Amino acid sequence: MSLTLFELWVILGCGVVTLLSRTLPFVFVKRLQLPAGVIDFLTFVPITIMTALCCQGLFIAHAGHWATIDWANLYAAIPATLAGILTKSLLAVVVVGIMAMAVIRYFNWG
Amino acid sequence: MTPELSFRAGLKDVLPTVFGYIGVGLAFGIVANTSHLSLLMVAGLSFIVYAGSAQFIIASMLVAHDPLSAIMLSTFLVNSRMILMSTSLAQAFRHESLTKNLLIGSLVTDETFALAMNKRNRTEGHLSFAWQSAANVVAYLVWGVATILGAVLGSFIQNPTQFGFDFALTAMFIGLVYLQLISDKHLGLTRQLLVMIFVALIYYISLRFTSANLALLIATILGCFFGMELKKCH
């Protein structure tokens, strides 16, 4: 149970970055009104960043070549998505996804 | 969910999300354990950084021996959605003191933000410091304890990828993007789907020429501009 100096810097550095991302908007909103264009841009951030993060899990990068599909992840994504549609529960999506991946690994699919 | 905005009501309202924190928190602890992070590092990440998806990315970047600057930049990019969430949530707390605003802001997460937006539909747009703090603090403590528990359990599990825990993060984003898709009535389903296809395409193309993290940023920013253009067309 120990921390390297590098790990300590990672915790502090990422902690500050995250804290500022969370709190500075509260300071700005309390003090001034954001321009309409900025607010308009920001409304698309959740859907775009979450889609890009999903893609990160579904594609395998190959520098200088076209990315390929991570078939195991794509197969597991199907029951996970169905669980979301049926239950609208984040927990169900995660649990079904993990279980599906366990089955896929067991049978060596993908 | 009732319109009541007391501390006690907050404790009750946050309960359903607690299960999500436990599931993903355990998964993070196990992943951190396989990445050879110590319990102290897991606790530090969960209680000081406190950023679900970014913590998975930090763990993987530590394994890859990436430089501090790259880890901090990725954390900022992954958490940049917090800027939007905080900006939206802050509108409801403008009348509160700056200290209370900072206290609420420092613990905003995807789930507590979504919960607050849900609550506002039942309270004519009002939120209270007591209610939001209850939700925030419960989420914070459950997340931290779940990740540490996962790290402890992880040492008893020989090969966790065999059990599919590494898929928890992708599954979480699939769940979050789906819930966002069906709940954001303001943007609408068709427009959001078009933006999603555009982002996936840009991400795929960018991935040929740059790193996964930069591709993520390029796809996100271009996706937002694409969304704004779509909005103008209507």
A-facing residues of B in 142-161 (CB < 8 A) are 161
Provide the number of structural domains found in chain A. 1
- Same domain for B171 and B86, yes or no, is yes
Q: Give pLDDT tens digits for B103-156.
A: 999 999 988 887 887 787 778 879 999 999 999 999 999 999 999 999 998 878
What 3-state class would DSSP assign to A83?
helix
**In one letter, which amino acid is A42?**
L
Comparison of pLDDT for B175 and B196, the residue scoring more: B196
Q: Residue B154: inside a domain, yes or no? A: yes
Report the range of poorest mean pLDDT among A74-78, A102-106, B46-50.
A102-106
- Same domain for B117 and B212, yes or no, is no
- Same domain for B179 and B190, yes or no, is no
- Same domain for B16 and B97, yes or no, is yes
Q: Give pLDDT tens digits for B32-66.
A: 888 889 999 999 999 999 998 889 889 988 887 88
- Same domain for B198 and B171, yes or no, is no
Domain residues for A109? 70-110
Q: Residue A76: inside a domain, yes or no? A: yes
Calpha distance B85→A18 (Å, rounded): 13
For residue B65, the 8-state DSSP code is T
pLDDT on residue B163? 73
CB B152 within 8 A of CB B51: no
For residue B49, the 8-state DSSP code is I
Q: Residue A63: inside a domain, yes or no? A: no
Domain residues for B74? 7-183
- Same domain for B40 and B114, yes or no, is yes
pLDDT on residue B1? 65
Q: Give pLDDT tens digits for A1-49.
A: 688 999 999 999 999 999 999 999 999 989 988 788 887 887 787 788 7
> Whole-number mean pLDDT of chain B?
87
The residue-averaged pLDDT of B84-98 equals 89
Q: Residue A11: inside a domain, yes or no? A: no
- Same domain for B174 and B224, yes or no, is no
Provide the number of structural domains found in chain B. 2
Q: Residue A14: inside a domain, yes or no? A: no
- Same domain for B145 and B208, yes or no, is no
- Residues of A within 8 A of B54 (CB-CB) are 14, 18
**Which residues is A69 bridged to in the sheet?**
A59
| Among A47, A65, A97, beta carbon nearest to B208 | A65
Burial of B30 (0-12, 13-18, 19+ CB in 10 A): buried
pLDDT on residue B197? 97
**Most B-contacting residue of A6, A12, A30, A44 (CB-CB within 10 A), to test interface:** A44
- Same domain for B179 and B79, yes or no, is yes
Range ranked top by mean pLDDT from A38-47, B11-20, B29-38, B202-211: B202-211
Q: Residue B2: inside a domain, yes or no? A: no
Q: Which of B52, B50, B58 is nearest to A6 (CA)?
A: B58
B171/A88 touch (CB, cutoff 8 Å), yes or no: no
Q: Residue B1: inside a domain, yes or no? A: no
- Same domain for B79 and B22, yes or no, is yes
